[in-house]
């Protein structure tokens, strides 16, 4: 007996969304791209080989399409809350690219809506599927009790951002891609971030931040230093971990993991690359087909945004220490009708 493919609708067809289009069309047996939503419906998509796939200009129309069984969202985070609520109303599983929402308040409302409806909500924190990060995680125990860790993520400024005027109130680098690091701390340590100190080059009330220095503290007191920035050229992506028995460094841009453990000679492990977006989509599809929780839940995505909230509050207070829980207790989202 032939099983019908899972029909997925994709909202967002920009540079990042086009990667999802490619995987949905070519790399996932048993899955089909049922519909697409994008702002500029009149423009052709080289990655879309057939006109048989409907292209909507309004995400509501895609969600309402009866042929769409699940929804993947790759849009600006400002659009994610309403898209999520609309998808929940339609009772369809949803995968949302990080960050889950612009603020923790909105992220909590999204998680609550999905949980109350009993629907699958997965956050695409794709770095959790990065082979370099996974190999680092496998070897972390070898360096003994963790003392501290550092992360560096510097990414080239988008060409489109250079021509756009800054939007006051819009969050920048810390939320855009620094949220990966805010999520990796609990993923690698198994401990939530409970407090942060943060300095930004500029507050979002003036213009989106392009540089952040964050000190994050976990439940056990482990301190992690995060260096996040937009740069003109030269991407850097690495993390270093210091333990009582050794040190490990990982560079996920160049796919290297090396370490010094005890009195042995320096070690280097071979990284077997995998495509993170494809791995994320496979996990989403598996969760739907097996009716099991996804490996990265809506709550996971929400926690990362809540930590970002605390970072922005700390920066507003001149780098003061801010408890993550204190913020979401103060700003609990109102119930939706």
Q: Mean pLDDT over residues 168-193, rounded?
A: 96
Range from 35-39, 134-138, 253-257, 321-325 carrying the lowest mean pLDDT: 35-39
Q: How confident is the model at residue 4 (pLDDT cuts 50, 70, 90)?
A: confident
Please list the residues that pair with 239 across neighbouring strands.
151, 250
Are 25 and 49 in contact, with CB atoms under 8 Å apart? yes
Looking at residue 334, what is its pLDDT?
45
pLDDT in tens, 260-309: 999 889 999 999 999 999 999 999 999 999 999 999 999 999 999 999 99
Burial (CB < 10 A; 0-12, 13-18, 19+), residue 81, is: buried
Looking at residue 43, what is its pLDDT?
60
Token couple for 56: 């909507």
Are 180 and 127 in contact, with CB atoms under 8 Å apart? yes
Looking at residue 15, what is its pLDDT?
86
The model's pTM: 0.92
Looking at residue 167, what is its pLDDT?
67
Looking at residue 333, what is its pLDDT?
44
Token couple for 195: 């407090």
Q: How far apart are CA 130 and CA 150, in angstroms?
A: 18
pLDDT in tens, 60-96: 999 999 999 999 999 999 999 999 999 999 999 999 9
Looking at residue 158, what is its pLDDT?
73
Domains delineated in the chain: 6-127+277-296 (3.40.50.720), 131-274+306-330 (3.30.360.10)
- Does residue 163 have a pLDDT over 80? no
- Does residue 162 have a pLDDT over 60? no
Q: How far apart are CA 250 and CA 41, in angstroms?
A: 41
SS3 277: helix
Looking at residue 337, what is its pLDDT?
40
Estimate to the nearest angstrom the gap between the alpha carbon of 55 and the chain centroid: 25
Task: Please tell me which of 8-22, 146-160, 292-306 the model is most confident about, judged by mean pLDDT.
Answer: 292-306
- Does residue 220 have a pLDDT over 70? yes
Looking at residue 271, what is its pLDDT?
96
- Does residue 1 have a pLDDT over 60? no
Q: Mean pLDDT over residues 245-258, rounded?
A: 98
Q: How far apart are CA 207 and CA 222, in angstroms?
A: 32
Q: How far apart are CA 146 and CA 140, in angstroms?
A: 8
Give the closest residue to 14 by CA, choosing from 48, 41, 38, 46. Answer: 38
Kindly report the average pLDDT of the chain as a whole number: 93
pLDDT in tens, 24-69: 999 999 999 999 999 875 565 656 666 689 999 999 999 999 999 9
Range from 183-192, 300-309, 322-331 carrying the lowest mean pLDDT: 322-331
Burial (CB < 10 A; 0-12, 13-18, 19+), residue 63, is: buried
């Amino acid at each position: 007996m032939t099983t019908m493919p899972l029909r997925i609708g994709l909202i967002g067809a920009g540079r990042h969304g086009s990667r999802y289009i490619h995987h949905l069309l070519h790399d996932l047996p048993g899955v089909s791209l049922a519909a697409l939503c994008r702002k500029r419906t009149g423009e052709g998509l080289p990655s879309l080989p057939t006109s048989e796939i409907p292209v909507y200009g309004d995400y509501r129309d895609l969600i309402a399409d009866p042929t769409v069984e699940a929804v993947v969202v790759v849009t600006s985070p400002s659009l994610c809350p309403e898209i999520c609520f609309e998808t929940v109303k339609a009772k369809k599983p949803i995968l949302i690219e990080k960050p889950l929402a612009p603020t923790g308040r909105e992220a909590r409302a999204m998680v609550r809506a999905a949980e109350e409806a009993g629907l699958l909500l997965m956050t695409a924190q794709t770095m959790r599927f990065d082979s370099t990060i996974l190999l680092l995680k496998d070897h972390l125990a070898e360096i003994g009790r963790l003392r501290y860790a550092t992360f560096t993520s510097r990414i080239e400024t988008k060409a489109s951002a250079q021509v756009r005027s800054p939007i006051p109130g819009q969050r920048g680098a810390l939320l855009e891609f620094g949220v990966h690091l805010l999520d990796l701390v609990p993923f690698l340590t198994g401990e939530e971030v409970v407090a942060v100190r943060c300095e930004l080059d500029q507050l979002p009330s003036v213009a989106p931040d392009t540089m952040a220095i964050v000190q994050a503290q976990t439940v056990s007191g482990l301190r992690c230093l995060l260096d996040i920035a937009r740069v003109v050229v030269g991407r850097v992506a690495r993390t270093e971990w210091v333990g009582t028995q050794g040190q490990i460094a990982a560079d996920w841009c160049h796919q290297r993991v090396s370490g010094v453990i005890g009195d042995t000679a320096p070690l280097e492990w071979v990284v077997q690359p995998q495509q993170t977006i494809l791995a994320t989509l496979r996990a989403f599809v598996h969760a739907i087909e097996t009716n099991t929780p996804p490996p990265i839940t809506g709550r996971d995505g929400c926690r990362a945004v809540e930590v970002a909230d605390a970072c922005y509050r700390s920066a507003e207070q001149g780098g003061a220490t801010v408890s993550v829980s204190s913020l979401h207790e103060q700003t609990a989202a109102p119930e939706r009708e």
